[in-house]
Structure 1
Amino acid sequence: MSPPRASKEERRDQIMKAATACFSRKGYHLTTMDDIVAESGLSKGSLYWHYKNKKDLFLSIVDWYLEQVKSGFEAAILAAPTAADRLRLFAELSAQMFSSPELEPLASVLIDFYAATRHDAEVNEAMRNVLNPFIELVTGLIEAGIAAGEFKAVNARQTAIALMAAYDGMYMYRMMLEDEFDWAETGRQFMETLLEGLSSE
């Protein structure tokens, strides 16, 4: 008896995992659709049945990445008792996320796409869709801290954007200085410096 045929969702998941592995090894620009075919073990026809080209596949992975990261992330942070504690937890969970075996390879590929946002409107929109939920989350945390009297009055959204930019920068430094870069400690020190500046006391 032949094994049951994989569902469309299972095939797409198989392709996305193969593509993520290829993108992580070679980078987005050097990876070819043939590489992904070989990694997935599927036929070229099957790959093109699901995705019209490499960019289409990558943008689908970005959507998947966002869902994976958001799952449980916000709920865990909002459970912390104070705004400062929530931002500390954001830093801790971000370090765990960037270091996780499942998400770290894709995070490294997202860096490849940053340069393309200036020249490709579709990529720009996809990257905004990744960043905006986190910017909005941090903005809300800072606004809550201001309302509670924990933080001084600042432009919450611009502060959130600065925080996200700092974490993206730390990730790039981690790729270059992997042997001496401690995510947990660097993120903790950065967050404590930020909280000291935000404190209303």
Structure 2
Amino acid sequence: MARVSQAHLDARRRQIIDGAALCFARNGFHATSMQDVLKEVDLSAGAVYRYFSGKEELIAAIVGEVLGQVRDGFEEAARATPPPSPDVLVASVLGRVLAAKESLTVDGRPAFPGLVIQVWAETIRNEELSAVLREGYGAVRGAWARIVGEYQDAGMMRSDVPPEHVARTMMAAAMGFLAQQALFGPTSADELAAGLRALMSMGGDSGTR
């Protein structure tokens, strides 16, 4: 029997994740059955269960993948000296994630922001998913805190505020932007960048060291 290549296994896993994400975005987690996922990806139960034991693992895989993309984007920026300013950084990373998910549509509308809202709601009742989300957001927050430290070391940002506080605030801006996308329809990440840039332009004590 011919050995299945890793590329084939990776492509099949990608097919299942993308199909499940579309099902969840279309009908919600609880209204979507594994049978719906099997029909969407046009695979047998054995083929799908080889990769995922059920909906819970599929949801966790989708969440982990997205948070990994966000974390990688911020960590890449953290390696620059100094890193891009917050307005450029947040818009760049969010824009990249949204572009990667632009093929996920329901009735011609981007479905990824709505899927994010569903994930947040699901974590209230699902402790395993909540743990995945906490770990992922913790990694993103850590990357952001390191970036803030770089800002402070370069004299770009006041140094009397803990980096963790700034990291949480910038994450709140990104999360709020996604929530608005889900509730009110798509808009460009450039608008978020412009808003952050305007807030950053306000005068006041710079608090430099």
Which residue of structure 1 aligns with residue 196 of structure 2? Answer: 190
Indicate the SS of the match to 1:93.
helix
Indicate the SS of the match to 1:149.
coil
Query: Which of 111, 121, 126 pairs up with 1:120?
Result: 126
Amino acid at match of 1:114: W
Indicate the SS of the match to 1:118.
coil
Question: 2:64·2:133 contact (CA, 8 Å) conserved in 1?
Answer: no
Q: Which has the higher contact order (CA 8 A, sep 6+)?
A: 2
Which residue of structure 2 aligns with residue 78 of structure 1? Answer: 79
Which residue of structure 2 aligns with residue 172 of structure 1? Answer: 179
Shift of 1:72: 5.3
Q: Give the TM-score of the pair, scaled to structure 1.
A: 0.80
Deviation readout 1:125-158 (Å, 9 max, x if unpaired)? 1111221222112211222222333222102102
Shift of 1:41: 0.8
Question: 1:20·1:105 contact (CA, 8 Å) conserved in 2?
Answer: no
Shift of 1:5: 5.6
Aligned residues with identical type, % of pairs: 23
Partners of 1:192 and 1:142 lie apart in 2 by 19
Give the count of matched residue pairs.
196
Judged with a 3 Å threshold, the aligned counterparts in structure 2 of structure 1 residues 166 and 29 are, in CA distance, closer, same or farther, namely: farther
Superposition CA RMSD, Å: 2.9
Judged with a 3 Å threshold, the aligned counterparts in structure 2 of structure 1 residues 97 and 130 are, in CA distance, closer, same or farther, namely: farther
Unaligned runs of 5+ in 2: 103-109
Which residue of structure 2 aligns with residue 150 of structure 1? Answer: 156
Unaligned runs of 5+ in 1: none
Question: Bigger CA drift: 30-39 or 43-52?
Answer: 43-52
Going by fraction, where is helix more abundant, 1 or 2?
Answer: 1
Question: 1:117·1:124 contact (CA, 8 Å) conserved in 2?
Answer: yes
Judged with a 3 Å threshold, the aligned counterparts in structure 2 of structure 1 residues 186 and 106 are, in CA distance, closer, same or farther, namely: closer
Deviation readout 1:154-181 (Å, 9 max, x if unpaired)? 02102211221221112111222226x4
Matched, 1:141 2:147: yes
What pairs with 1:87-102 in structure 2 (closer than 5 Å)? 87-102=86-101
Question: 2:123·2:129 contact (CA, 8 Å) conserved in 1?
Answer: yes
Question: 1:24·1:105 contact (CA, 8 Å) conserved in 2?
Answer: yes
Shift of 1:107: 4.9
Q: Give the TM-score of the pair, scaled to structure 2.
A: 0.77
Amino acid at match of 2:64: D
Amino acid at match of 1:59: A
Indicate the SS of the match to 2:157.
coil
Partners of 2:152 and 2:205 lie apart in 1 by 9
Question: Bigger CA drift: 97-106 or 11-20?
Answer: 97-106
Shift of 1:112: 0.9
Question: Bigger CA drift: 64-73 or 105-114?
Answer: 64-73
Deviation readout 1:25-82 (Å, 9 max, x if unpaired)? 2232322211110111101232223222101111122233334444455324532x54
Question: Bigger CA drift: 7-16 or 54-63?
Answer: 7-16
Judged with a 3 Å threshold, the aligned counterparts in structure 2 of structure 1 residues 5 and 82 are, in CA distance, closer, same or farther, namely: closer
Judged with a 3 Å threshold, the aligned counterparts in structure 2 of structure 1 residues 198 and 55 are, in CA distance, closer, same or farther, namely: farther
Indicate the SS of the match to 1:50.
coil
